[in-house]
Structure 1
Amino acid sequence: MRAIQLNRFGDPDVLEMVEVPKPEPQAGEVLVRVRAAGVNFFEVLMRADRYAVTPQLPMILGVEAAGIVEALGHGVDASLLGTRVAAPLFASSRPLGGYADYVTIDASLAVPLPDALSFEASTALMVQGLTALHLSRQSPPAGKSVLVAAAAGGVGSLLVQLAKRAGASNVIAAAGSKAKLDLALSLGADVAVDSSKTDWPERIRVATGGAGVDIVYDIVGGPLTAVALEALAPRGELAFAALGRYALGAPEMEAMIGRNQSLRGFALLPLLSPEVLRDGLSGLFNLAANGELKVTNGGRFPLDQASQAHRLLDERGATGKVVLIP
């Protein structure tokens, strides 16, 4: 079968199409013919060796896939054969390999897809959808003014909608272009500010009557975090979900202490038991299938154009979910 393999770190051109053996489902597993594989920004960081942990090479990237169950391992319910499923590889014992024609996954982790939900849309609701969902649960926005960084991206575009559904009083979207700001507003944001402008924290304060926001959902990290803190109200909360891109130093932390502000870290995987994973994905899939949650298509690329998909994310040119298709 075909797969996209990373043999060395570097720019998007280091991603290579290779032929590898088709996997065989072991006991308790299903073999899924991949119809869509999600592409995530942290995979871009992995490819360039800029992630929090240096992965071992060679490797086949891809932590989420969706497709049709084509074969069953011993002991798997025969009714799963031929069904449409999501394969959240990131939660499995083999968390990579989605950039390929086939993947195997424990049958207990394969989540059925509603007929009305496309394979492509389902990939947006795995890592990114669960991140947005659990961020909104861990740092509840009900009755609060919140800032969503990178609000037109995969996580941000979903978080804007989920924060509104959860009762946020004011959802402020930050993004770096007019098109991205327009998208965030179309998804329900109350205010949109251009984070490429130097005065964007002040614009947020104006939009909140000088008070600042109660919660900053930071899914970007790096230099943006310190700037976003300028828009955080006293006693406010910074919900940090940018693993590997933490850049706050002692001065910023001391300033937060002086303003009675709190920092709350966020890591998705420790929150996901198999039951929590399945319940969360099923809920997100149903919301999207019923039109209550909009998934934004950030770009569809054939598998052999994985490097172009990575380049788009490298250049911050995507709005919504980028996927690879057969």
Structure 2
Amino acid sequence: MKVARINRFGGPEVFEIVDISIPKPNSGQVLVRVGAAGINFAETLMRENRYAVTPELPAILGTEVSGTVVGTGRDVNGVTIGTRVAAPLFGAGVFIGGYSEYVVADAALVVPLPDELSFEDSTALMVQGLTAQYLLKQAPVKGKTVLINAAAGGVGSLLVQLAKRVGAKMVIAAASSSQKTDFALSLGADVGINYKQPGWGEEVLAVTGGSGPDVIYESVGGSITKESLGILAPMGQVVIYGSLNIQEFNLGVPELLGLIFKNQSITGFAVAPLLTLESLRNSLAELFDLAVSHQLKVTIGGVYPLEQVTQAHQALEGRSTTGKLVLVP
């Protein structure tokens, strides 16, 4: 089978397409022929050895796939050959293996796909969908004004829709271009603001009547994190998540004074530690149902053949994409 593998850390050019043996499922595992593999920004950092998890080289990146079960190991019940499934490898703490034609996964982890849901769309609802869903559980927004940074991305585009669905008073979508803010508005955001433009924070304050957002979901990092904190409403909450905030986080005494005297809070967020096997399966099934019933729009920003993994990583790092990028064998 073909895989996209790295033998050294570095830029997108380090990927090599190589042939290796198809893995055999052990007891309690299934073999999945990959229909689509998700690409996440964390994997661009992992490729450069700048992520919290360092893969052992040579490494096949990728933590989420959808496909068809083509083999089973011993003691597998309830999953049959030919079943279309989502395989969220990260649910078992596995952050490698997805950029491949075949993967093995724990049978208890895979979730059947509705016939109407494509492999590509289902990959967008794993890491990104679960992140959006659990962000709203950790920091509820019903009746509140919420600012979503990177609102046109894989998480942001779903978060905009889900925040409106659970009753947010106002959803402000912030992104790096007018095209991206227009896209977020098409998904239901009430206001779109370009955070690349000077004075974007004042614009947020203006549309909130000077009070600022009650909840800010922040994944951009750098100066955007600090500026977001500066426009947060009294008793508001900034939720920090995503790979970019790991790279740079510089808050000082002025920000701390604001937190103290305005009773504000900064909350860290990572979805994987919040998941149990049952909640993972139930949450994915709920997201799949929302997508199939057209209550949640999934946006695929690019579909790349496995052999074009370098170009896919370049596109993701270039911040020119919206929605989810996927690889197809």
Q: Give TM class, smaller chain.
A: over 0.9
Match of 1:224 in 2: 224
Match of 2:234 in 1: 234
> 2:173·2:189 contact (CA, 8 Å) conserved in 1?
yes
Map 1:110-259; keep pairs closer than 5 Å: 110-243=110-243, 244-245=246-247, 247-251=249-253, 252-259=255-262
Match of 1:41 in 2: 41
> 1:72·1:78 contact (CA, 8 Å) conserved in 2?
no
Q: 1:69 to 1:153 in 2, by over 3 A?
A: same
Q: 1:265 to 1:93 in 2, by over 3 A?
A: closer
**Residue type of the partner of 2:178?**
K
Q: Cα RMSD (Å) of the superposition? A: 1.2
> 2:61·2:95 contact (CA, 8 Å) conserved in 1?
no
Give the SS at the match of 1:171.
strand
> 2:62·2:96 contact (CA, 8 Å) conserved in 1?
yes
CA distance in 2, matches of 1:91, 1:77: 19
Q: 1:123-158: CA deviations, max 9, x gaps?
A: 000000000000011100100000000000000000
Q: 1:157 to 1:58 in 2, by over 3 A?
A: same
Cα shift at 1:60: 0.5
Match of 1:16 in 2: 16
CA distance in 1, matches of 2:137, 2:76: 33
CA distance in 1, matches of 2:195, 2:167: 24
CA distance in 2, matches of 1:226, 1:209: 21
Give the SS at the match of 2:181.
helix
**Residue type of the partner of 1:218?**
E
Cα shift at 1:312: 0.2
Choose the corresponding residue for 2:312, options 304, 309, 313.
309
Q: 1:78 to 1:262 in 2, by over 3 A?
A: closer
> 2:291·2:298 contact (CA, 8 Å) conserved in 1?
yes
TM-score, length-normalised on structure 1?
Answer: 0.97
Cα shift at 1:293: 0.3
Q: What percentage of residue pairs aligned between the two structures are identical?
A: 54
Greater shift in the superposed pair: 188-197 or 253-262: 253-262
Match of 1:287 in 2: 290
CA distance in 2, matches of 1:219, 1:4: 27
> 2:91·2:275 contact (CA, 8 Å) conserved in 1?
yes
Cα shift at 1:285: 0.6
> 1:60·1:97 contact (CA, 8 Å) conserved in 2?
yes
Q: 1:94 to 1:260 in 2, by over 3 A?
A: closer
Give the SS at the match of 1:120.
helix
CA distance in 1, matches of 2:231, 2:310: 36
Cα shift at 1:254: 3.3
CA distance in 2, matches of 1:221, 1:245: 8
> 1:221·1:247 contact (CA, 8 Å) conserved in 2?
yes
Cα shift at 1:54: 3.2
Cα shift at 1:221: 2.3
Match of 1:273 in 2: 276
> 1:220·1:245 contact (CA, 8 Å) conserved in 2?
no
Choose the corresponding residue for 1:319, options 309, 318, 322.
322
Q: 1:312 to 1:76 in 2, by over 3 A?
A: same
What runs of 5+ residues in structure 2 fail to find an aligned partner?
none
Match of 1:300 in 2: 303
Q: 1:213-256: CA deviations, max 9, x gaps?
A: 00000122233100111221111001111242451323223332
Match of 1:262 in 2: 265
CA distance in 1, matches of 2:169, 2:96: 39
Q: 1:16 to 1:307 in 2, by over 3 A?
A: same
